[in-house]
Chain A
Amino acid sequence: MAKEVSPGVKALRKVVEDVYADARKAKAEGKLVGWSSSKFPCELAEAFDLNVMYPENQAAGIAANRDGEIMCQAAEDLGFDNDICGYARISLAYAAGKRAARKIDWDKEDGYVINPRTGKPLKDADGNIVMGPDGKPVKDPKTQTPYIVLEDIYEIEALPEGREKERRRESIQPYRQMRMPQPDFVLCCNNICNCMTKWYENIARMCNIPLIMIDVPYNNTMDPNPENVKYIRAQFDNAIKQLEELTGKKFDEAKFEHACKQANRTAQNWLKVCNYLQYKPAPLSGFDLFNHMADVVTARGKKEAADAFDLLAVDLEKNIKEGTSTLPFPEQYRVMFEGIPCWPKLPNLFKPLKANGINVTAVVYAPAFGFVYNNMDEMVSAYCKAPNSVSIEKGVEWREGICRENKVDGVLVHYNRSCKPWSGYMAEMQRRFTADLGIPCAGFDGDQADPRNFNEAQYETRVQGLVEAMQIRKEMAE
């Protein structure tokens, strides 16, 4: 039986679906569609009614749909080194027109060539796995999927109209992230990383489109200095001017204020939802937040996102009253998951956690998207506080805050090959978590998008080590 989906989760899914659908519609109608970094002040684009897509969210989705490797490889074939961030590689391949597509069966009128290695084992009427003559389980043909090959939309577009063109167009993977419209402009804010700057410059060059840039220098203090705020504030004015030129519209103050109001509501509701992880046991699995992040990324400035998080809070409240949880096993340990998840390997990440009764009750994404502010200067300060643009002390304060409030027993640190600014001071942070909170930490190597950089055996060993350390600590406390 399919798992029942709560009204809040349904609403959150719809918000993201709609953002993509609206952008596809806008593109079809000849309207501008932009691509934006996830922590660009979306309020500015909302004030101009612009349709905006988010390559980071897209890349995570592509990776989760198992097409990270073929897209990363496509970027490498374009000359981008495999050391570069996996999101950037996926996005750059996409911007260059590369697509993951199902392999067409040209011998037939319709259909694709099925990859015999895919699919789940076929079960008989009694639920037993059917074995083939070779002694291996027979695959259920209904669950089998085609081979995935690389397509190029520019090659397709150059074809004469006809069946070949049509079939190749249709063969592109049908999920939304692989059907995202090409950009007419890009919005870049490097509060996340500097890689973002060059990533977006590359997109601007590939597509010959304008780039609107907000530069957020790295911060060495607990709070942004007044001179940083002044510098970034001036860039907001600059960006507004560029958006006016791009759209031919005047900046609409009322729309901007409305977007700010909604963005604040979304941020507050997001934080509210994240805070449900403070309950022990928690009414949700922390992995749920990884899925709901799509909403804070793609629809922060929209009323629908704020409303959907409100609905989710109602679901969670109900779970607490009923003593239930979305966590599909009893919660024995609570950990903070440090870093971006390995999207292509989410089930593999989850497996040993489930086996050991570990719930992720703290994620750094909670404070990372909690952009709450009352005026323009505070808004600037809020956008200075991305995980990779704050000092180590600020980063430790955030994390130790949620570790305490969410009562974690340990920390699982993802040394993310894709993310140098994030992983670059984690060793020192780990030492601080243990010194300040007395909790064990375990690190593992992985990647947010490229499955080739994740070693499942190492991960399982590290989780096991963490469990043993948490167990000893628990016993000593008892």
Chain B
Amino acid sequence: MSLEARFQEFKAAAYAPKKLLNEYKAAGKKVIGVLPYYAPEELVYAAGMVPMGIWGSNNKTIARAKEYCATFYCTIAQLALEMMLDGTMDQLDGVITPTICDTLRPMSQNFRVSMAKLQKMPTIFLAHPQYRRPAFGLQFTVDQYTNVRNELDKIAGHKMTDEDIRAAIKVYNKFRQARREFVKLAGEHPEAVSAVNRSAVLKAGYFMEKPAYTEKLNELNAELAALPASNWNGVKIVTSGIICDNPVLLKIFDDNNVAIATDDVAHESRTIRVDADEEGDPMMALAKQFANEDYDVLLYDEASNQNRRGEFVANLVKESGAKGLVLFMQQFCDPEEMEYPYLKKALDGAGIPHIKLGIDQQMRDFGQAATAIQAFADVLSM
């Protein structure tokens, strides 16, 4: 199979999740929607159901969600609600609603209230602790994940066992490993993996069934690994932000010979950095996995008087061989906005140029972004 044909397979999944949802349902499977961030998807898999990530949409316009939201909320959350209300997600058997940012807190209530009012589906509430690592924090995560587990059992109609969860952890560790490998190979081979294709491959992972996805990705990775060393002559950058999956926007990178060496994006690498223990108590393993997450704008840093996250991202740029960083600033995203000055400080300190692109999922005109990216590419090529 040609590389292009492989990319087409991932694109088909990435750009048409509704079709996959219909197929899962037609095959008699139960499907659970999973909202950002850090929901223990492994539990959905362990319950014998299919998890599908819901990170907004690049093709929808906010209309019905206005009944619940004022305008100053991130479009990812608003468009997720839109799709819950407009029928796009009606086939879901349930949805997990984490609450780790200030938009998701009240949105968890809007999801629950509206889904109950329309008799659409149960919502599963999830509150993560900000003290992730001390024993009391780990225990709280286990307690919360146990609630999620129990609610999933109800929807599945049977109880998942610890063994089911251990098996799910193994599946997800392989999934994350394949994704990490792909991110690395895509960074090494921009001549073969465009920014648009890179994103589609990663995005498809939210919708495809994990074992099938991992298998296909490993095949792609093997082909990429076998390629001769890259002779590509554009500029490499690192992307950062919550999400940057709009193919129209990403094509601007490709058109300007700008490649993504690696990323610090919540929708991409921030969720795949840490694996879970495959032995021992599987609920504690999942709690520890969350505890080991780090360098994220959404997570409390106990060493708060240091600039660990900023320095981590600056190092990521240096180690990846990229020349600069492009920050996709999701409009109305407080956590990302709050961490920007210190990210900037670390980047400036390390001599790494960057640009900040304000984006949201209802943007259709990327003229300004195109000018900024083009100018940045010119600066970096000098």
Contact = CB atoms under 8 A, between A and B. Distances in A.
Interface of A: 78-81, 83-85, 88, 190, 193-195, 197-202, 204-205, 207-211, 213, 215, 217-220, 227-228, 230-231, 234-235, 238, 388-389, 391-392, 415, 417, 420-428, 445
B109 interface: yes
B67 interface: yes
Interface in B125-162: 125, 127-131, 134-137, 139-140, 143-144
Interface of B: 67-70, 72-73, 99-103, 105-110, 112-114, 125, 127-131, 134-137, 139-140, 143-144, 297, 300-302, 304-307, 329, 331-332, 334-335, 337-342, 344
Contacts of B109: 220, 391-392, 424-425, 428
A357 B344 CA distance: 51
A200 B334 contact: no
B102 A194 contact: yes
B105 A194 contact: yes
Contacts, number: 162
A424 B73 contact: yes
Given A215-B129, A445-B70, 6 more contacts: A80-B340, A85-B334, A195-B338, A197-B130, A205-B305, A417-B72
B338 A227 contact: no
B103 A211 contact: no
B291 to A, nearest CB: 13
Contacts of A228: 140
Contacts of A423: 70, 72, 106
Nearest to A75: B341
B305 A208 contact: yes
A213 B129 CA distance: 12
Q: Which 10 pairs, one residue from A and one from B, show the smallest C-beta to C-beta distance? A: A424-B106, A79-B341, A234-B136, A217-B127, A198-B338, A81-B337, A215-B130, A227-B143, A231-B140, A392-B109
Nearest to A227: B143
B118 to A, nearest CB: 13
Given A78-B341, A211-B305, A420-B103, A238 B134 contact: yes
Nearest to B136: A234
Contacts of A415: 70
B68 A205 contact: no
Contacts of A207: 305
Given A201-B300, A217-B99, A219-B127, A84 B337 contact: yes
A200 B344 CA distance: 18
Contacts of B340: 79-81
Contacts of A388: 102, 105-106
Contacts of B100: 194
B304 A425 contact: no
A425 to B, nearest CB: 4
A209 to B, nearest CB: 6
Nearest to B300: A197
Contact of B110 (A85, A88, A425): A425
A94 B112 CA distance: 39
